[in-house]
Copies of this chain bind each other. A is one copy, B any other.
Amino acid sequence: METEKLPALRVTEQGRSKFEDIVATEFSLTISLNNQELVTLLCSPTKLDYLAIGFLSSEGLINSKDEIRKISIDDERGIARVTTKEAGEPARDISFRRFIGSSGGKGTNASTVAGASRTEIKSHLQVSAPAVLALMEEFVQRSKVFRATGGVHSAALCDANKILIFSEDIGRHNAIDKIFGECILRDVPTDDRIIITSGRVSSEILLKVAKRSIPILISKSAPTNLGVKLAADLGITLIGFVRGKRMNVYSCDWRVVPDGE
């Protein structure tokens, strides 16, 4: 269901051959909060309840599991209906002010990006450089859909030794939202934890991770300048380009210790 086999033509210097390629499935999920349609996400069709709750949490529309009255997923029509115990602010206004991200799209309000609610993360968590490399290696190994299709992003919640929750999605924001949605619904704490992402790290990703008090963010890819600056402001250790046996630490590098100390 996460992938589909489709006929394609492979063209190489040796010639042409028909084959069946495995491509990532793209699914359209409309999220409705208290009977108001908020947004339609293009996503991979897995963990849709986690995605809906993670999205609503990242947008600041839900803060805890206690607020949720009911979640129902209509797989046929691609709708996630969430109702809360108390109806919040009007959705229309939120949608209107939505950011559309660089290449992640999920968005945050202008006020958030402007820094209305930046709280520095105080966690004393440290991780050794070899542990970062080992986590990334496990992360890449687990990216089954990526290896099959080359067309999805992954995200993971870890402690300093192992991956606790793993997700894949055609969207890098969705992959992270699925993790946080699962944390909320399954009561998994995120303090003193690590997030790994396959994707590039823009300001939006930092704000999302900061909202869950995550002190360390590890990426296989590049950060933007604003991603680096926000990480420093928020007290988050941002590690980028973790590839092979090396990495770049862009902020709060005291959390990365040389060896398994």
Query: CB of A189 within 8 A of chain B?
Result: no
The complex places the Cα of A24 from the Cα of B102 at a distance, in Å, of 12
Residue of B nearest to A99 (CB): B40
Question: Chain A 188-199 against B: per-residue CB contact (8 Å), 1 yes, 0 no?
Answer: 000000000001
List residues of A (100-119) whose CB comes within 8 Å of B's CBs.
Answer: 100-107, 110, 113
- Pair A10/B95 contact, Cβ less than 8 Å: no
Question: Chain A 233-261 against B: per-residue CB contact (8 Å), 1 yes, 0 no?
Answer: 00000000100011111100100101000
For the complex formed, measure the closest distance between the CB of A146 and the CB atoms of chain B, giving whole angstroms. Answer: 9
* Stretch in contact with the other chain, from A68-76, A80-88, A166-174: A166-174
Query: CB of A154 within 8 A of chain B?
Result: no
Q: Name the one of B6, B23, B203 contacting A42, with C-beta atoms under 8 angstroms.
A: B203
Q: Name the one of B8, B39, B92, B202 contacting A100, with C-beta atoms under 8 angstroms.
A: B39
- Pair A103/B228 contact, Cβ less than 8 Å: no
- Pair B110/A100 contact, Cβ less than 8 Å: no
The complex places the Cα of A175 from the Cα of B182 at a distance, in Å, of 33
Total copies of the chain:
2
* Stretch in contact with the other chain, from A134-142, A157-165, A209-217, A219-227: A219-227
For the complex formed, measure the closest distance between the CB of A230 and the CB atoms of chain B, giving whole angstroms. Answer: 10
- Pair B9/A248 contact, Cβ less than 8 Å: yes
- CB-CB under 8 A from A200, the residues of chain B are 151, 170
Given known contacts A10-B248, A221-B150, is B253 in contact with A203 (CB within 8 Å)? no
Query: CB of A149 within 8 A of chain B?
Result: yes
Q: How many residues of A contact B (CB 8 A)?
A: 71
- CB-CB under 8 A from A110, the residues of chain B are 28, 30, 40
- Pair B105/A101 contact, Cβ less than 8 Å: yes
- CB-CB under 8 A from A173, the residues of chain B are 103, 105
User: Would you list the 6 A-B pairs with minimal beta carbon distance, nearest first?
Assistant: A105-B105, A151-B222, A26-B224, A102-B171, A26-B226, A42-B102
- A interface residue numbers (CB < 8 A to B): 3-4, 6, 8-13, 16, 21, 23-26, 28, 30, 39-43, 92, 95-96, 98-107, 110, 113, 129, 149-151, 153, 169-174, 199-200, 202-204, 221-228, 241, 245-250, 253, 256, 258
